[in-house]
Every structure is written in C-alpha cells, then in structure tokens.
Amino acid sequence: MADKKSLDEMRDEAYRRQDNLAADIDELLDRVNPKNAVTRWKNELVGSIKDFSAADDGKTPALPVAIAGGVIGVVLIGAGIAAAVALSGRREDPEEASAQRAAERLQERRKAQKKN
C-alpha cells in the first residue's frame, strides 16, 4: 500500500510541475509579446517621469524641464540620423561601376584613334 501511495504522490508532483512549467511558459510568452513590451516600457517611462516630478525640490518646475529635455534629445537623435544618412552617401553597384569604367576606356580609345 505504501508503494501505491508514493506512486500517487509522484504522479501528483509530476502534475504540479507540469502546471508550473505551463504557467512559466505562458508568462514568458506574455513578456516577449511586442505589444506587452511596449505597454510595459510606456508604463515604466510614465512612472519614471512621475517619480522625477515628485522629487521636485521646488526650485525648478520639473515637468517642463523633463519635456524640454525630451524634445532636445529627440532633436539631437534626429540630427544624428540625418548626418549619418548624409555621410553614408550612395554606394555604387559593382556591375554599374564596371560598366562605367568600360565606357570610359572606350571613350579614351576613340579619342586616341582620332588623334592618330
């Protein structure tokens, strides 16, 4: 009888572990869901701004300073992206560059033939 009871206990333990594993997998899927990640990020950002404004020492208005800092940050990031795009230039296609060089060589040969 003791063996039967321990077998039932082992079965119950296996079911509990299976349920825990399923719950862990569900939580992991919920965390990696992009919509939930964005919502979580937004809530953390709003909470940090509220905490920042709550830590106001009374000397400066915290919310306008935070907004101004955010606007400046966005402008600087935009300027950085624009500069990177402008500096990257247009990369030539190797086949196009080869055709361009061949055309230039052909023009040089024709000029040389006209001179002779």
Cα separation, 46 vs 66, in Å, equals 11
Cα separation, 89 vs 101, in Å, equals 20
Cα separation, 43 vs 69, in Å, equals 19
Model confidence, pTM:
0.34
Helices (H), the chain: 2-32, 34-54, 62-88, 94-115
Q: Which pair of tokens denotes residue 110?
A: 């024709």
Q: Please tell me the predicted confidence (pLDDT) of residue 56.
A: 55
Q: Please tell me the predicted confidence (pLDDT) of residue 50.
A: 74
Region 25-36: what's the mean pLDDT? Answer: 86
Residue 77 has pLDDT above 60, yes or no: yes
Region 25-49: what's the mean pLDDT? Answer: 85
Confidence of residue 91 (pLDDT cuts 50, 70, 90): low
